Every structure is written in structure tokens, then in C-alpha cells.
């Protein structure tokens, strides 16, 4: 199973701990407890940090889901010109984020904040990072990575000036979290609904309207 690079240090430490405690178990039965705990950490990390292949080819009018998870809401929040799709990621979802469109990264901005539960409305005030992508014909998308009550780290793989392709990996959030996708409301037709399960790089979340 392929995993993201962020998992390597955890896998090395838990793997080494497992081997050491397994050896120590020859001399103390208490070491079996440590052996079990290290094994759980290792196996869970392998699962949580998995990096599955996503090979779907999107056409130029399709918008890819930026995250795996459950669609929490689809609505205009602070502006009539922007529609926001919020996706909740449980600890069982793949936590990589992928670009919803082809374009150039115009801005990335990290903001310190709170750590509310990721599926609650107040999670929009949590610690977050926003990745703004500009395309052609006035198309644009913002991907907001939002931490949850447990998550404490956001990884961003891109920087301003980078060119990205649809479904390209652009970041990761550790453990349960939320991803918000901002789109120009007059240029898109949303093809998912609240409660839908989506996958980054697999699910078409919307379509660009023809000019």
C-alpha cells in the first residue's frame, strides 16, 4: 500500500518500537502490551496515510472533488457570487486534497484559529489554509483546508505561481477535518447534493457552464 511522505517518520518510530518491544517480551510479559500498541499505531498509520491511485481523466468542463468525505452543505455563505461546498472527512477517509481544476496557484494563506469539531458549522473559524487557483475564461476555485478538533497540522504541497492539473495532489490534513470548495456561483452547475459521498480525483462535483 502506498502512503504519503508525512507517514514515514510515524511508521519508522512505531515499527522500531514494535521490534524492540517484541524482543523485550522475551524477558517481560508487560512488553507484550507495548508490542500490541506499537502494532496498532503502525497499522492505523498505514491505513490513515494511504495514497490510493486516482487515474480518472476529467474533461475541461468537469470540476473534481478536492477531498474524500461527505458533503455537509452547498450554499452561498458570505457572497451571492460565491457558492461553498463543505466536505467532512472522518478518520476513515483518505486525507489528501486534490486540485478541483486546471490552473495556476495565485495565493496560499494559512490562518490560525480554533479547533471545533469538523462537521459543526462553527468549524469555519478553525485553523485553516486556503489555496486559490486561477484558470482561463474567468474560472477560479479556492480550496480551504480546515482542521478539526483532533487535527493539528495542515500540509500544503503547492505555492503561488505553481501550475496545477485537475486532480493533482495539493495538500493534506491530519485526522478528522473539513475541506471547503469555493466556486463562482454564476459559472458552475453543482452535480452533488448534501449527504453525498465524494472522492478526490474520482467524483465530478460540478460542471463549468459554457460561455
Residues marked active site are found at 177
Do 3 and 51 meet the contact criterion of CB atoms below 8 Å apart? yes
d(CA 23, CA 114): 42
Please tell me the distance from the alpha carbon of residue 19 to that of residue 61, in angstroms, as a whole number: 51
Nearest CA-CA partner of 129 in 159, 165, 166: 159
- Residue 104: DSSP 8-state: E
CA angle 107, 166, 123 (to 5 degrees): 55
C-alpha cell at 77: 455563505
Query: What grid cell was written down for 198?
Result: 465524494
Amino acid at each position: 500500500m502506498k502512503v504519503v511522505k508525512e507517514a514515514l517518520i510515524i511508521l519508522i518510530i512505531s515499527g522500531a518500537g514494535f521490534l524492540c518491544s517484541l524482543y523485550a517480551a522475551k524477558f517481560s510479559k508487560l512488553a507484550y502490551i507495548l508490542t500490541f500498541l506499537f502494532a496498532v499505531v503502525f497499522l492505523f498509520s498505514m491505513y490513515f496515510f494511504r495514497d490510493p491511485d486516482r487515474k480518472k481523466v476529467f474533461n475541461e468542463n468537469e470540476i473534481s472533488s478536492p477531498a474524500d468525505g461527505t458533503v455537509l452543505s452547498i450554499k452561498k455563505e458570505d457572497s451571492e457570487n460565491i457558492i461553498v461546498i463543505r466536505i467532512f472527512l472522518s478518520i476513515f477517509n483518505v486525507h489528501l486534497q486534490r486540485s478541483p481544476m486546471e490552473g495556476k496557484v495565485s495565493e496560499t494563506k494559512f490562518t490560525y484559529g480554533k479547533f471545533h469539531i469538523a462537521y459543526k458549522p462553527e468549524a469555519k473559524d478553525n485553523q485553516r489554509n486556503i489555496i486559490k487557483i486561477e484558470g482561463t475564461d474567468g474560472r477560479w476555485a479556492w480550496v480551504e483546508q480546515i482542521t478539526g478538533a483532533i487535527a493539528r497540522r495542515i500540509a500544503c504541497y503547492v505555492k503561488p505561481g505553481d501550475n496545477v492539473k485537475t486532480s493533482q495532489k495539493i495538500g493534506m490534513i491530519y485526522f478528522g477535518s473539513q475541506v471547503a470548495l469555493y466556486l463562482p456561483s454564476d459559472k458552475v452547475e453543482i452535480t452533488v447534493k448534501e449527504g453525498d459521498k465524494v472522492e478526490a480525483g474520482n467524483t465530478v462535483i460540478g460542471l463549468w457552464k459554457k460561455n
